[in-house]
Amino acid sequence: MSNTAVWKSVLGEIEIGLSQAVFQTWFKNTHISNYSEKRTEIAVANIFTKNQLEHKFKKQIIELLTKHGLETSEVIFTIDTSKLSAPSKQARPFVKEKKGTVITKPKLSTPNNTSGLNPKYTFDNYIVGSSNELAYAACLASASDPGNKYNPLFIYGGVGLGKTHLMQAVGNKVVSENPNMKILYISSESFIREFVKSIRNKKAFGDVYRTADVLIIDDIQFIGSAEKTQEEFFHTFNQLHQHNKQIIMSCDKQPKSIPGLTERLQSRFEWGMTIDIQQPDYETRCAILQAKASSSGFELPQDTTEYLAANIQTNIRELEGSLNQLIAFCEIRSLSPTLETAKALLANVRVRPKHISVRDVVTKVAKHFDIQEADIKGPKRDKSIVIPRQVAMYLLRSELHLSFPKIAKELGRKDHTTAMHSVEKIEKSLYTDNLVRQNVNEIKDILYA
Ligand code: ADP
Ligand code: MG
């Protein structure tokens, strides 16, 4: 057997144990580049793949190579960019796909049995890493056998980490495999709105939802503030669950932390499978950037990928946003994306074009923590006030670049060392305390929304 054929057999076996997305992410564009004296060299496209294969697959690869006739005691992974499959590599370092290129889209189902699905979100274009692999696996399992695996499936995690994408992927997969099933995707805000409207118009509510085969409710946390809607949803939930209809929900927190959620709903949310999505690690961030760039027809140099991944850590939406900015910037000027361009752009992003005032920060912080604005500037020392106050100081420093004396003055503190200590404390907490980090990120999202 030739080396190519051996590698094909090895890949065939590896593929069986992995999801298509994971397999594609790590094994696309790999081949055996050299073999001598039980040493097999495998060429991979980039450093991230190399790291991943070394960490997670090396042993299995050695075993399988040997099994398929290439006796191997050592595997070396080398980086070979010549095998990249970016569409227009030979023409220029990067060229966006020409207008008029036919892009095959997932087939849309008939509109009457689905609602709210966006075909752009699929399992195939979801990058899997340690931060989201459980959620991914659970969603895939639900999509393959709706109603019978994990019911309900409850996915929670911070903003921009891929919850909506995953749930939409479930809907799209179910529809493509079961064209007769009724799939409904709705945000809990719309759900509440529809419910209120139905009361106003004295119309029956719920029938639409109770006849779904798969009901997907996004950002369920908002339901906590709507008492009557909760009651309605309780009945819908029971009805669907009793008939083995799949319910999938996303949330920014675990069921027990949703303010205002009734106990009976909380316990139902926890009946099936509750899984969190965490912030992506560095390797996953790199893989996401590379995948997104190449799907737009761009090749992102390794140093640029690393720079973006190292500097945008918390949120995939932001990661995607920066990449899109870079692509747009380069496209308009017919430039290749380089580290310098990325740095310059990111510096700009950091300065943030939108003007934010001290008032904005105080208002948004107070609202987020559900306390009075006056308390942030006031004398109270309770923990429930002190932490928001420290977060406000931190944001005044990090986003508005105010001096410590100015921060102290704005927030009614006599002494600027208080501001200094508060900012330092939050800076440290960002690394050690998930909750603080999540709060700060959410407030930033709101500030720049
Ligand atoms: P959330 O609902 O958790 O706030 P989204 O699902 O809206 O986050 O994700 C934000 C953006 O990031 C979307 O454009 C989504 O496609 C993208 N994204 C998130 N996670 C991934 C991933 N693992 N692979 C590819 N794209 C992702
Ligand atoms: Mg979402």
Higher pLDDT pick, 137 / 401: 137
pLDDT computed for residue 135 by the predictor = 94
pLDDT of residue 21: 64
**Nearest-angstrom CA–CA distance, 390 and 360:** 15
Give the Cα separation of 26 and 85 in Å (integer): 14
The structure tokens listed for 150 are 């994990």
> Position 123: which residue type?
F
Atom of ligand 1 nearest to the CA of 121: 16
pLDDT in tens, 185-194: 999 988 898 8
Q: Round to whole Å and give the CA distance between 299 and 304.
A: 10
**Residues 307-328 pLDDT 10s:** 999 888 878 998 998 999 898 8
Atom of ligand 1 nearest to the CA of 157: 3
**pLDDT over threshold 60, residue 384:** yes
Ligand 2: distance of its center to the CA of 164 in Å? 4
Separation of alpha carbons 29 and 35, rounded Å: 18
Q: Please, are residues 410 and 358 in contact by the beta-carbon 8 Å criterion?
A: yes
d(CA 59, CA 62): 5
Pocket test for ligand 1, best of 130, 167, 218, 316 (most atoms within 8 A of CB): 316
pLDDT of residue 112: 56
Nearest CA to ligand 1 atom 1: 160
Ligand nearest to the CA of 316: 1
Shortest-distance Cα residue to atom 23 of ligand 1: 127
- Nearest ligand 1 atom to the CA of 132 is 23
What angle, 0 to 180 degrees and rounded to 10, lies between the N-to-C axes of helices 416-432 and 383-398? Answer: 90
Please identify, by atom number, the ligand 1 atom nearest to the C-alpha of residue 158. Answer: 3
pLDDT above 70 for 111: no
Res 398: pLDDT = 83
| pLDDT of res. 84 | 44
- 47, pLDDT greater than 90: no
Percentage above 90 pLDDT, the chain: 56
Of residues 24 and 41, more confidence is placed in 41
Quick one: pLDDT band at residue 93, thresholds 50, 70, 90?
A: very low
- Residue 258 Cα to ligand 2 middle (Å): 16
| pLDDT given at position 82 | 61
Question: What is the position in ligand 1's atom list of the atom closest to the CA of 218?
Answer: 2
Residues in the chain: 449
H or E stretch covering 333? helix 316-333
Kindly give the distance from the C-alpha atom of residue 169 to the centroid of ligand 2, in angstroms, as a whole number.
Answer: 12
Pocket test for ligand 1, best of 123, 161, 319 (most atoms within 8 A of CB): 161
Indicate which atom in ligand 1 lies nearest the CA of residue 136: 23
Q: Which two three-digit tokens encode residue 179?
A: 């064209």
- Higher pLDDT, residue 105 or 76: 76
**Residue with the nearest Cα to atom 5 of ligand 1?**
162
What integer pLDDT is reported at residue 44 of this predicted model? 87
Confidence of residue 56 (pLDDT cuts 50, 70, 90): confident
pLDDT surpasses 90 at 61: yes
Residue 292 has pLDDT above 50, yes or no: yes
- Asked if residue 32 has pLDDT above 70, the reply is yes
Report the atom number in ligand 1 closest to the C-alpha of 125.
25
156 C-alpha to center of ligand 2: Å?
10
Q: For residue 36, what pLDDT is reported?
A: 92
Reading the block at residue 225, the tokens are 């503030």
Say yes or no to pLDDT of 272 above 70. yes
Nearest CA, atom 13, ligand 1: 317
118 CA → ligand 1 middle, Å: 13
Nearest ligand to the C-alpha of residue 314?
A: 1
- 161 Cα to the center of ligand 2, angstroms: 8
Average pLDDT over residues 45-58: 80
pLDDT score, position 285: 93
Residue list, ligand 1 pocket, CB within 6 Å: 126-127, 132, 159-165, 288, 316-317, 320
Alpha helices in 352-415, H assignment, sequence order: 358-369, 373-377, 383-398, 404-410
Q: Where does 132-272 have alpha helices with state H?
A: 133-144, 163-177, 188-200, 207-210, 227-242, 263-269
CA of 8 to the centre of ligand 2 (A): 38
Question: In whole numbers, what is the pLDDT of the chain averaged over residues?
Answer: 86
